[in-house]
Amino acid sequence: MAEQCISAPAGDWQSEGMDYVPHFHREILSFDAAVRRAAGADEAPLVPSCPNWSVTDLIGHLGVVHRYVARIIRERLVERPDITDLTFIDLPAEHKGWPTPENTPPNRGPVPDGLVDWFADGASALESLFESGGPSEPVWTWSQEHTIGFWLRMQTIEAAVHRWDAENATGAAQPAEAELAADAVSQTFEVMAPARRAWNQAPPGSGERFGFRQTDGTGKWTVRFAGDGVQLTEAGGPCDVEAAGTASDLMLFLWQRLPADRLDEVKGDRRMLDHYFTLVPPV
C-alpha cells in the first residue's frame, strides 16, 4: 500500500466503459478459493512472486489494504488518514500467528484460524462500498486523482495480481481476463510507473522508448521516458525494444510476475526490458 502522496497522471478509470465491480468480485472469490487451499496445511506456502512472503502474509497484506481503503471511502476522508491508528484493521481478540508489525514475514506456521474469514469480510465490505459510492465522489488517494473511482480501479487490478500470486503459490495460476489485464497495462503507464519512479527516486529517462502489443486483442502501447516523465505516445515509430504477449502476460510482466522469456515475442534490444525496471523500480 502506497503511503505517500505523489503527483502522478490521473488514469481514466472509466476507459472503455468498464464496470470494475464484477471484476473485483470475481478476483476476490478466486483469491479466497486459492488461499483456502493452503489453510489446512501444516505450513503456509511461500509466495514465489512475493519474495519472503508466505500465503499468510499475502492474506494479511490484502486484507489490511481493503480495510484501509474501506475506511477512506466509508468516512469520505479527503486527507490522508493517520496510519498509526490501526483500529480500522479490526483484528479479533485472538489473533495468534497473524501477520502483524511484530510478526515479520515470512510467517510460515499454518494459516491462522479465522484469517481467511477476516479477509473475506473485509473484501465484501469494500465491494459493498464500491457498489454504493459514486465513482466520481472525492476521497483521499495517493495519486492526483482523488476519487472513489481511482480506488475501485486500483484495487481491482491489485486483486487480480494478488489472486495470481495466491494461485501461483497454491496451484496453477490462471491468467487475468483480457479486458481487465489490458486496462491494467494502461494503468501501469498512467499511474503506477510515474508513482514508482517518484517513490524510489528512479534515474531520469534519456528518451528510452518501449513498445508493447497485445496478442489476444487490439491493445498497443508506446511509452517514452524523458527526464522524470513517463509519456504514453501514439503506437508506432522506432522503439528500443518491442514486446508482444497476451494482455495478462503483459500485465504480469510489468508487475514483475513473469520474466520476459514468457512473452510471445521480443524485438530489439532485449536488455532494455531489464532496464525498464531500473526506470520503474518495484515497490
Distance, first Cα to last Cα, the chain = 9
pLDDT computed for residue 235 by the predictor: 66
Which stretches of the chain score pLDDT less than 50? 1-15
User: Residue 283's Cα: distance from chain center in Å?
Assistant: 10
Res 5: pLDDT: 29
If residue 223 lies in a helix (H) or strand (E), which one and from where to where?
Answer: strand 220-227
Residue with cell 488514469: 11
CB atoms within 10 A of CB 60: 24
CA distances from 184 to 18, 22, 73, 178, 252 (A): 12, 15, 22, 10, 9
Burial 192-201 (b: 16+ CB within 10 A, else e): bbbbbbebee
Query: What pLDDT is attached to residue 107?
Result: 95
- pLDDT given for residue 233 in this prediction: 82
Residue identified by cell 501444516 is 42
pLDDT of residue 16: 52
Where are the extended beta strands (E) located within the chain?
A: 205-214, 220-227, 229-233, 241-245, 265-268
At 231-266, the pLDDT tens digits run 998 666 789 999 999 999 999 999 999 999 999 999
Q: How far is CA 259 from CA 38, 159, 271, in A?
A: 26, 20, 12
β-strand partners of 220: 213
Cα-to-chain-centroid distance, residue 144:
18
Which cell goes with 238? 522506432
Kindly report, residue by residue over 109-138, the tens digit of the pLDDT. 999 989 999 999 999 999 999 999 899 999
For residue 100, the model assigns a pLDDT of 87
Q: Is 186 exposed, middle or buried (0-12, 13-18, 19+ CB in 10 A)?
A: middle
pLDDT digits (tens, 9 = 90+) for 23-40: 999 999 999 999 999 998
The domains located in the chain, with CATH, are: 15-174 (1.20.120), 179-279 (3.30.1050.10)
